[in-house]
Amino acid sequence: MLKLNLGCSDHRIPGYLGVDRCFGPGVDQVADLRFPWPWEESTIEEIVAHDVFEHIDNNDYRGQLGIVWAMNEAHRVLKPGGKLDLVVPSLPGYAPWVDPTHVNVWTADTRYYFDARWNYSGGERGRLGPAYGITALFKTVGGRSGVDWKPVQYAPDAPDRHKIMVILEAVK
C-alpha cells in the first residue's frame, strides 16, 4: 500500500513516501509535480498534500492551470476511494498572498469544480469541468474545514490567515 507525503521537505510521516522537488532530510523521492507524476494510475492509497498545491503552476504544460493540474494528477494516481488530505491557504484574509511562491488561490467555492455533489449539467463541475480540462472527481468526506470547504483560522496569532483543510475521497 503506497502513501505519499507531497512537498514533505524535512517532515517525515511514518508509512508515507516523502516526495519533494529536491533532496532533503525527509525526501525519499524527488518529483516535480508541475509535470506528469511518476506514479501509475490508481496505485496510491493516500496522499498528504499540506501547503503544496498552491505552489503548482502549470500554464505551460497541457494548458491546465495549477489547481486543475494538481487535482487531476492526484485523482489519476489515487485508487478508487483513495484519500487526499488537502491543506491550502485560502481566502478570506491574506494567507494566499503571504508566500511569494504561491501561484494560485483557493476559496471555499473551489469545491464546486471538484466535489461530486456539483457534477450535474447545471453545476460548475458538470457544466464547465470539461471545457476547463477537469477530470478529477472527489467526494468531500471531512477534515477541519468539513464537507463544505469552510476556510478555518489556523494560527491564534494570525487571525487574518485561513486555510482549507479537507479530506477528499477519489470517485472513480
> Domain spans of the chain?
2-170
DSSP for 31-61, written as a single string: --TTS--SS-TT-EEEEEEES-GGG---TTS
| Amino acid symbol at 153 | Q
Q: Are 124 and 115 in contact (CB under 8 A)?
A: no
User: Closest Cα partner for 93 from 159, 165, 149?
Assistant: 159
Q: Look at residue 170 in the predicted model and tell me its pLDDT.
A: 98
Q: Look at residue 127 in the predicted model and tell me its pLDDT.
A: 87
Q: Look at residue 172 in the predicted model and tell me its pLDDT.
A: 96
pLDDT tens for 30-65 read 999 999 999 999 999 999 999 999 999 866 556 667
What is the pTM assigned to this prediction? 0.94
Q: Look at residue 128 in the predicted model and tell me its pLDDT.
A: 87
Strands 2-6 and 17-20: parallel
Q: Which residues contact 11 (CB under 8 A, 6 or more apart)?
A: 5, 18, 26
Q: Look at residue 60 in the predicted model and tell me its pLDDT.
A: 55
Residues of the chain with pLDDT under 50: none
Q: Domain 2-170 falls in which CATH fold?
A: Rossmann fold (3.40.50)
